[in-house]
Structure 1
Amino acid sequence: MKGGLHGLRNKHVYLILIALACATVVVWRFEIPLFLTFILPPQSHVLWLSPDGKIKDKQVLEGENSPDQSEKGVDLEVPMNSLNTNSSVRNEEKRSSTNILDKEQEIPPNVTEVSDIKQVSEEKNSSKHGEKNLIAQMSSVKGEYENILATRVENQACNYARGKWVTNDSWPLYSGFGCKQWLSSMWACRLTQRKDFEYEKLRWQPKDCEMEDFTGSKFLRRMQNKTLAFIGDSLGRQQFQSLMCMITSGEERADVLDVGKEYGLVKARGAARPDGWAYRFTSTNTTILYYWSASLCGLEPLDMTNPTTDVAMHLDRPPAFLHHFLHKFDVLVLNTGHHWNRGKLKANRWVMYVGGVPNTNRKIADIAGAKNFTVHSIIEWVNSQLPKYPGLKAFYRSISPRHFFNGDWNTGGTCDNTTPLSGGKEVLQDEPSDHLAAGAVKGKQVKLLDITALSLLRDEGHKSRYSLKATPGAHDCLHWCLPGVPDTWNEILFAQL
């Protein structure tokens, strides 16, 4: 009898050891493979974020041979059902784990004493509880991981040019009476005789996605230790001044330094203004600058000793300023358009050059042809430089629409409408309205900042006939009141950064 009890106890010990071994296997089974299953999807479905923010398939990356290509990034072409493959794999793992847990709850045969049963049961329950907590935690991580991917995919696919104008009581982001440190008074319509300001409350709402709220602090954090450069005509200057007001909320900032000298942006003797401005926010070492280049091509006086000399307008060369300082920029926004007319060329004494000699190509001699040739040339040149500067993001802003009615700027054209959105509030088209800009960036790493169609709906937002003087001035149906439409251009730019 004694020997029988001793043998029975040995059996109990063996059974307990077997149960503990099973529990160890179960814990190992869940803590390692299942843990990794939730954290790391199968290698064939791993998505990688490139330096420029694009989502890339690991298989695509492994198939690339050129380092330049890997810097540029590849548009995500992985269908959404492939992302769900990870979920199905993990669900299968979860179903398998549930079956194992159900089986482990059964009492092993030959275990007869209550104390042994209780001990085994407690060990199983403890193991099961830990595994459930682990599964719950990993599910949370998995959900967050997939949400990030979904957000990235949504942002990549968002067409910010489609949407509608809506009234937003939180707008404008700065006062038209303020921002005197950055805003030209001639564009501050609150300082003119204008009485209606409903247009200041309108904000653009994209159709396919949410646009992140702009704040100066978020912008500066995103652009820490970086430089943003606007290069273009007076509409580019308006976008530059708008951004400075948006970042500062129109308030005076003693911590913002004028660093124009670093870029040669100083007022020349006898000039009305410098060729541009550059300011640095010392808190984040963020520089915002603007350089005036109405034609967006290289300009070179033919006789440096003669102040009335003709100027070679090199249609196939970038502005010297851009060529010289491109390496210092992290974000570049280019634009041109409204100076491409015979009157402007004649007034500026610009003579078209191609290949370093006067142009003889009749197709290019036409203003529209010359503009088309120049826009394609400058975007091609910038695109060719991007592999050298993989951190640089370059945008070409589509043309800002004019709203002259019953004539042009010099023939009595007017823009008297003060009722916002009287011509409609929504843009549903997928294709850009500025076909030249869209065609020039097609297939390039230079991105389109498409603002034409949404701005076309805002004919009430121009400076119009209102001036700083007591009497109305000539109608300006080209430039915008600030705060106003250019603020939206910067919101979209911010979203695309």
Structure 2
Amino acid sequence: MAKESIPPPNLHGINPIRNSSKKFPCGRKLALILSAVVFVVISSTYYPEHVFYGAREPAHNSQQTAIAGDEDNEMDCNLFNGTWIRDLGGPIYTNMTCPTIPDSKNCAKYGKQMDYVNWRWKPHGCDMARFQPQLFLNIVQGKTLAFVGDSIGRNQMESLLCLLSQVEAPTKVHSDTKDKFITWNFRSYNFTLMALWTKFLVEDSQREINGTLVESHDMHLDKLDARLAANLHEINILVVSSSHWFFRTNYLYEDGELIGCIYCSEDNITSFSVISAIQRVFRTAISNLNSRRESRLKLTVVRTATTAHFENGQWNTGGACNRTEPVGEGTAMTSTIEREIRDVQVEEANRAQKEKKQKGGMNIEILDITKLMSMRPDAHPGIHWNNEWMRGYSDCSHWCLPGPIDMWNELLLAVLNKYKKNMEDQ
């Protein structure tokens, strides 16, 4: 079991002095001097100048502190604009203290060097408190929160399970094949946590050729995913995300009629870009969520697209993610299309926010994590030889647990805290 635990930080081959007063004739005074020298050497090696990507803080700290329990402070600054800075405090859980950690995200178990956990997100102009699982459970007590989207959304749910399990171990109450639709319950808080797996948020069916399924889908842009629609009546808080499955040959329908396609070569079919299809899907999804009178939905959070950090190829062509530390803001690894996806997701969420002010309806917020995660190519599982569904390939899309994905839930807590009074009347 010891080899599965998170190792201590690698101090670049420099070992602290132990029992120095017994080894040197000058005694304890000389030992303290030598210890100080070692500390300076370690600091200059372990905290190189280039890791501080933002401007250094002034000597007089006049900044705000965004604390999850303080609604006013936390939403005054832009929590999504900042840098990753060194923090040796470590995460609030490890792969040994999370009872629900999936094997595919258990990076410590398979020998990944764990320095990537020694960073924290630092918004410009304010600080964020560490995740407070007790506060989170108090806010969501008696409610149901669902992550709706592809496996990256499920990855965020897995992170939240690990974080909250430090207060209470959850009970799995439902799971289907490959955990695509899974439900957990925190009994002491009557809190239900769901993952509803869907490729596109809207209805789809996979195409077949001669009885064999192919990587191509029929998407109905005007129909909400049936499984999501069937479960909306019991969901209070919804975290919505989707983007990765659009990068295939997909055929688009409205009112049952074929209106176009993505990445297809037929001359008689209108060609749609990935961006335009994603925008239509998010508009359909948000509009449908807001118009359902029977829904108990109080808050929808749109989580923006994340970066897959494959380099020198893709997952099936030798691509890998071998970096060992974050990159700076100026070199954030976000492609043009990922930025465009993020922009249309934000645009549709903002459109819904304006309609909410004019017509009422559910609250909607944005979890804008595209830029901050583009700086973290170091925190993917990478090669997973023991993982059944990625055997022999690099996983540079999902995120290790613990890891920077835990910050998504810290940001989610800030959003929930903003609306906690609004949700109390349920």
TM-score normalised by L of structure 1: 0.58
Mapped pair 1:352 → 2:270? no
Q: Secondary structure at the match of 2:164?
A: helix
Q: How big is the shift at 1:325? A: 1.8
> Aligned pairs, how many?
319
CA contact (8 A) 2:199 2:242 kept: yes
Unmatched 5+ residue regions in structure 1?
1-150, 268-272, 346-350
**Letter of the structure 1 residue corresponding to residue 171 of structure 2:** L
CA contact (8 A) 2:252 2:260 kept: no
CA distance in 1, matches of 2:397, 2:410: 20
**Letter of the structure 2 residue corresponding to residue 197 of structure 1:** M
How do 1:169-180 residues align onto structure 2 when only pairs under 5 Å count? Answer: 169-179=88-98
Mapped pair 1:459 → 2:359? no
Mapped pair 1:485 → 2:404? yes
Q: How big is the shift at 1:175? A: 0.8
Change (3 A) 1:422 1:371: closer
How do 1:78-89 residues align onto structure 2 when only pairs under 5 Å count? Answer: none
Deviations 1:369-420 (A, max 9, x none): 32232122212322444x76576110110011111122222322222111x1
Unmatched 5+ residue regions in structure 2?
1-69, 262-268, 333-337, 354-363, 417-426
Change (3 A) 1:443 1:424: closer
How do 1:467-482 residues align onto structure 2 when only pairs under 5 Å count? Answer: 467-468=385-386, 473-482=392-401
How do 1:202-281 residues align onto structure 2 when only pairs under 5 Å count? Answer: 202-249=119-166, 253=169, 256-260=170-174, 265-267=175-177, 273-281=178-186
> Which residue number corresponds to residue 313 of structure 1?
219
Change (3 A) 1:392 1:276: same
Q: Secondary structure at the match of 2:407?
A: helix
**Letter of the structure 2 residue corresponding to residue 191 of structure 1:** K
**Letter of the structure 1 residue corresponding to residue 101 of structure 2:** L
CA contact (8 A) 1:363 1:369 kept: no
Deviations 1:71-125 (A, max 9, x none): xxxxxxxxxxxxxxxxxxxxxxxxxxxxxxxxxxxxxxxxxxxxxxxxxxxxxxx
- Structure with bigger strand share is 2
> Which residue number corresponds to residue 367 of structure 2?
449
> Which residue number corresponds to residue 288 of structure 2?
381
**Letter of the structure 1 residue corresponding to residue 374 of structure 2:** L
Which of 221, 224, 231 lines up with 1:325 in the alignment? 231
**Letter of the structure 2 residue corresponding to residue 355 of structure 1:** D
Q: How big is the shift at 1:187? A: 1.1
Q: How big is the shift at 1:426? A: 10
CA distance in 2, matches of 1:364, 1:192: 43
How do 1:45-444 residues align onto structure 2 when only pairs under 5 Å count? Answer: 152-179=71-98, 181-194=99-112, 196-249=113-166, 253=169, 256-260=170-174, 265-267=175-177, 273-299=178-204, 312-342=218-248, 345=250, 351-360=251-260, 365-385=272-292, 392-418=298-324, 420-424=325-329, 433=339, 434-444=342-352
TM-score normalised by L of structure 2: 0.67
CA distance in 2, matches of 1:451, 1:291: 20
Deviations 1:338-392 (A, max 9, x none): 111226x5xxxxx43212222348556444432232122212322444x765761
Deviations 1:148-169 (A, max 9, x none): xxx6544443311112212333
Q: How big is the shift at 1:234? A: 0.8
Q: How big is the shift at 1:241? A: 0.4
Change (3 A) 1:308 1:213: closer
CA distance in 2, matches of 1:473, 1:154: 46
